[in-house]
Structure 1
Amino acid sequence: MTLRTLGLTLLGAAGLLALPACQKESAPPPPAAPTAAEQPSVRAPEAREHAATPIQDPNAPAAAPEAVAAPPGRGVVRGTVTFTGAVPAPAELPPSSDAACEGRAPDAPVQAKGGKLANVLVRVRGTVPGSVATPTAPVMVDQSKCTYVPRVQGALVGQPVLFKNSDGTLHNTRGMAGKKAAFNIAQPPAGTPVQKPLPTDSDVLKLKCDIHPWMTAYVVSNPNPFFVTTGEDGAFTLQGLPAGTYTVEAWHETLGTKTAEVIVKDDAPAEASFAFSMADASATK
C-alpha cells in the first residue's frame, strides 16, 4: 500500500467516526414540558359524574315549570273567584293523641273570606299553540302537623310529585285517580322524600292518609303551564298567553267547575270571573 492510499484510508475512517457525533449534536432538543397554563384540564371520573348529576335538596321549594313560547305571548287573563252565601263550618276533626298533630288546621274544603274563594285551581284548558312547557323539577306536597301542604296545586302533565314528611310521626300517602288507586306509600318520620309520577288516566290526583283520615289534598295536571291556585283574595292572573280564544276553567274540590271563553289580545288584559255557592256542591253529587 502506498503512503497516499494509507493516508486516504485513515482520513475516511476518521470521518466515519465523527459522523455519529455530528448527528447527535445536530439532533433537535426534546419538547419542553407544558406550563401550568398549558396543562389540559382533567377531572377524575367521580368529579364528572357528580357534575352531571346534581343533588337536589328535598327541602327546596319546587321550581316553577319552565315555559318557552314561540313566539312569546304577551296576553294576560285576570279575574276573581267569589263565593256567595253562608260559608259552611269546618268539619270537626276526631281527637288525636298524636303529638305531631297538635296545631293542625281544621278541615275546611270551602275556604272563603269576604266573599272571596281560596284553593280554586284556575287554568287554561287544552293545548296552547306556540307554547312548549318542560317540567324542570317536581312539585312538592309536604305533611306538616298532620295536614297536606298545599291542599290544592297544579302541575304539568308528566311532572312528578315529591312527597315529604315533616312530622315526627308515621304517615301514608294514598293517591287516587278517580276511583282507582294510583299508589300507596308509607312515610316514616324524617324519612327520605318519595317521588311518584302523576297518573295518566286522570287529571286530578286526590291524596289521602289512612292513618290520619282527615288529611286531603289535590294535584291537578294540565297540558300547558297556564294555571294558578287562588289565595284568600280569590284573585288570579295568567300571563304569557299568545293572542287567541281560550277556555278558562275554575276547579274546586267540592264545588265543581265553571268555565268561561276569553279572547286574549296582546295589548289589553282579558277579564274572567267565576262565582260559586253551596248550590254548586249539591249539583256535583
Structure 2
Amino acid sequence: MKLRTFSLAMIGAAGLAVLPGCKKDEAPAAPSTPAATPEPSKPATPEPAQAQTPPAPAGKSTIKGVVKFTGTAPAPTDVAPSSDPACEGMPLKDQPVMVKDGKLQNVLVRVKGNVAGAPAASASSPAVVIDQVKCTYTPRVMGAQAGQPIQVKNSDQTLHNVRAMAGTKPIFNMAQPPSMPPVNKTTPADTELLQLKCDVHPWMKAFIHVSPHPYFSTTGEDGAFTLSGLPAGTYTLEAWHETLGTKTAEVTVKDDETAEASFEFTAG
C-alpha cells in the first residue's frame, strides 16, 4: 500500500516537471502591432511607342491635259450574241479604240515610277470598284494604288468567274454566282498591270494599272485627265492604251500651280 502511494506521488511529480518544460518550448506571443498600410500601386509604365514616320503632306500641284487620236480608228470586232438571258443588251462590238471628236477614251495616264512623299494605300483605303453588267466589265480601264482594295461586283443574274492575270501569272480566280457578295482582293505590289477575264463569258475583259502612288487618271469621252495633289517637281508621265501602246512626256510643275501635258496616238 505504501509502495502504490509512493508510485503515484512520483508520477505526479514527473507530470509537474514536464509541464513547465512544455511551456518553455512554446514561442512567446509577439506583441500586436498595427498592420502596415500597403503602398498605393503605381500604374505600369507603358512601353515606348515605336517611332513612325508620318505620311508626307500631299502636294498642291496639278497636271492636266488631253489625249488625242489622229487618223482612222480601227474597226471594232464582232462579239457573238450570247444565249445567256442575263447578257441581253450587251455590246455586240468589242471596241478598244474609242474616239470621239478626236479624243481618245480609256487611256490610263500616270506618273511613272515612285513619287517621294506619296501617301501609301492600305486595306482601309477606298476600294477600286468594278461591276459586271450585261456580261461586261465596267469600267474597262482603271488605275489602282499598290495595296489598295479591289472590289468586283456581279449585277447580273448569272454565274461569272473573276480571273485576274498579271501577264501569264494567275493572281486569283473566284467563282461569282448571282447575288453573291462582291469579290474583295488587295492590289498586289509586285505587278503593274492586272487583266480581268471571265471564262464563262470569254469576251469579257478589264484592265487595272497598278502604281506605287495615287497619281493616275483614266480618260473619258473627252480624252481629259487630271493628276492632282502632286509635290512640285519634274515628272515622266506615261499614257497607256490596251492596243495602241504607251507614250511618255516630261512635265515640270511648280508648287501650287497647274501644268499642262498632252498625248497623241495614231492608228497602226
Shorter-chain TM band: 0.7 to 0.9
1:85 counterpart letter in structure 2: G
1:111 counterpart letter in structure 2: M
Kindly tell me the number of residue pairs found equivalent between the two proteins: 212
Retained in 1: the 8 A contact 2:58–2:119? no
1:211 aligns with 2:200: yes
**What SS does the corresponding residue of 1:127 show, helix, strand or coil?**
coil
Distance 2:147 2:56 in 1: 21
Retained in 2: the 8 A contact 1:205–1:218? yes
Residues 97-176 of structure 1 aligned to structure 2 (within 5 Å): 97-105=83-91, 106-135=93-122, 136-176=125-165
Q: 1:69 to 1:113 in 2, by over 3 A?
A: farther
Structure number having the greater helix percentage: 1
Residues 77-96 of structure 1 aligned to structure 2 (within 5 Å): 77-96=63-82
**What SS does the corresponding residue of 2:251 show, helix, strand or coil?**
strand
Aligned equivalent of 1:251: 240
Retained in 2: the 8 A contact 1:205–1:219? yes
Aligned equivalent of 1:232: 221
Aligned equivalent of 1:187: 176
Deviation at 1:257, TM superposition (A): 0.8
Distance 1:71 1:217 in 2: 33
Q: Based on CA coordinates, which of the two structures has the bigger radius of gyration?
A: 2
Retained in 2: the 8 A contact 1:243–1:264? yes
TM-score in terms of structure 1 length: 0.71
Distance 1:258 1:95 in 2: 35
Distance 2:117 2:174 in 1: 38
- Structure 2: which 5+ residue stretches go unaligned? 1-53
Retained in 2: the 8 A contact 1:122–1:228? yes
Retained in 1: the 8 A contact 2:192–2:211? yes
Deviation at 1:175, TM superposition (A): 0.7
Deviations 1:92-150 (A, max 9, x none): 11121111111112321111111100101111112222222334122111100000011
**What SS does the corresponding residue of 2:73 show, helix, strand or coil?**
coil
1:236 counterpart letter in structure 2: F
Q: 1:201 to 1:70 in 2, by over 3 A?
A: closer
**What SS does the corresponding residue of 1:165 show, helix, strand or coil?**
coil
- Structure 1: which 5+ residue stretches go unaligned? 1-67, 280-285
Retained in 1: the 8 A contact 2:153–2:181? yes
TM-score in terms of structure 2 length: 0.75
Distance 1:236 1:228 in 2: 6
Deviations 1:163-217 (A, max 9, x none): 1110011111111101111111111011121112223432100011111111010
Retained in 2: the 8 A contact 1:248–1:262? yes
